[in-house]
């Protein structure tokens, strides 16, 4: 008999709800996926009730809410929204026996290995080592990093702040870009390059280095121009971005021992997936002296579906904890 769970992925602008049916071991099916605008509801309770009122299925008795913000303590506050809630109180209001709140990237990390085959692209082939960690990293608004740790009863999600580790330039141009960013921010983390804002930082840096006026591009302008003309300045921005991403992914592999695989996530990479094969991503990831063979054996996959966070929320709801 399949179990059903209320799952949600709550951001500052949109709230996605669904019913996850199934189990992590056999797979989940997402039913009644709906995207609601946060501004249309006073609070999360009202949005969740509106979703539940719209479906005919039997009401689930447990669930998991993934939120864009830190989770800890009795009250959960979204980073870019006025919404806040107490998981225990919200569970009572929604008539749920249990409700787990978790960071949205942690949910996405947990859902990575549960994604359907047509929602994942192989970037680098390899042989995953069983019973070892899996790394899930993704440049989006910020740079998220989560680890999946295999346990006796279920997979545990380890949320990290790995995106704020220090950037390590490896080429002359990266040294110059890092110096430009350091002049503005002081400490240069990987997130200063590997995020939407990071694309802008790299673009501004290359404009400065090449003596070109910065045209005020947003991240989407940079990726669009890069896709249209790989030889353009924006093309070089994305090439540097992907090379740095490879270096970061390789660092994460050796630091964490994540030989179970690496998943790339976030909102930026699916739009520039076609540039990955011809980029320096894999060379920078795997060229590590005595650790080259170690890293080369680790597979890398790109998540292209937006279902990962909801699937991960289903698995966390099933386990009753992250």
User: At what angle are helices 233-256 and 219-228 packed, to 10 degrees?
Assistant: 110
Confidence of residue 201 (pLDDT cuts 50, 70, 90): very high
Q: What is the rounded average pLDDT of the residues 173-182?
A: 98
pLDDT tens for 289-307 read 999 999 999 999 999 999 9
| Residue 213 predicted with pLDDT over 90 | yes
Q: How confident is the model at residue 268 (pLDDT cuts 50, 70, 90)?
A: very high
Q: What is the DSSP letter of 59?
A: P
Q: Is a pLDDT exceeding 90 seen at residue 153?
A: no
pLDDT at residue 77, rounded to an integer:
84
pLDDT of 211 higher than 60: yes
87: CB partners within 8 A, 6+ apart: 65, 76, 99, 100, 101
Closest of 104, 174, 181 to residue 144, by C-alpha: 104
CATH 3.30.420.40 in the chain is located at 3-115+309-319
pLDDT over 90, % of the chain:
80
Q: What's the CA gap between 162 and 160, in Å, rounded?
A: 5
pLDDT at residue number 68: 82
pLDDT tops 90 at residue 168: yes
In CATH terms, is domain 3-115+309-319 a member of 3.30.420.40? Answer: yes
Summarize the annotated binding site for ATP as residue ranges: 8-13
Mean pLDDT taken over the chain: 93
Per-residue pLDDT tens for 107-130? 999 999 999 999 999 999 999 999
CATH placement of domain 162-303: 3.40.367.20
Domain with CATH 3.40.367.20 in the chain: 162-303
Q: What is the pLDDT of residue 2?
A: 64
Q: Which residues fall in the annotated binding site?
A: 8-13
């Amino acid at each position: 008999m399949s179990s059903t769970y209320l799952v949600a992925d709550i951001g500052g602008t949109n709230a996605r709800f669904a019913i996850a049916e199934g189990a992590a071991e056999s797979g989940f099916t997402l039913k009644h996926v709906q995207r609601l605008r946060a501004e249309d509801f006073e609070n999360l309770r009202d949005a969740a009730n509106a979703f539940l009122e719209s479906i005919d299925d039997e009401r689930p008795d447990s669930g998991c809410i993934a939120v864009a913000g830190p989770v800890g303590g009795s009250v959960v506050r979204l980073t870019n929204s006025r919404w806040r809630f107490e998981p225990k109180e919200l569970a009572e209001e929604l008539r749920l026996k249990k409700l787990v709140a978790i960071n949205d990237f942690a949910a996405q990390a947990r859902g990575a290995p549960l994604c359907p085959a047509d929602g994942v692209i192989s970037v680098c082939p390899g042989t995953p080592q069983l019973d070892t960690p899996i790394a899930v990293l993704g440049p989006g608004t910020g740079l998220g990093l989560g680890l999946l740790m295999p346990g006796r009863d279920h997979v545990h999600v380890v949320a990290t702040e790995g995106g704020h580790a220090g950037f390590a330039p490896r080429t002359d141009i990266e040294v110059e870009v890092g110096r430009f960013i350091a002049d503005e921010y002081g400490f240069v983390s990987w997130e200063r390059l590997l995020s939407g804002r990071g694309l802008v930082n790299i673009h501004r840096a290359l404009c400065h280095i090449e003596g070109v006026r910065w045209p005020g591009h947003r991240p989407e302008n940079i990726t669009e121009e890069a896709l249209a003309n790989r030889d353009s300045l924006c093309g070089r921005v994305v090439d540097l971005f992907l090379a740095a991403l490879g270096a970061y992914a390789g660092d994460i592999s050796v630091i964490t021992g994540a030989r179970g695989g690496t998943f790339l996530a976030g909102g930026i990479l699916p739009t520039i997936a076609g540039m990955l094969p011809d980029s320096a991503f894999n060379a920078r990831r795997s060229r590590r002296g005595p650790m080259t063979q170690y890293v080369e054996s680790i597979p890398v996959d790109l998540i292209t579906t937006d279902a990962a966070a909801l699937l991960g929320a289903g698995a966390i709801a099933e386990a009753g904890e992250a």
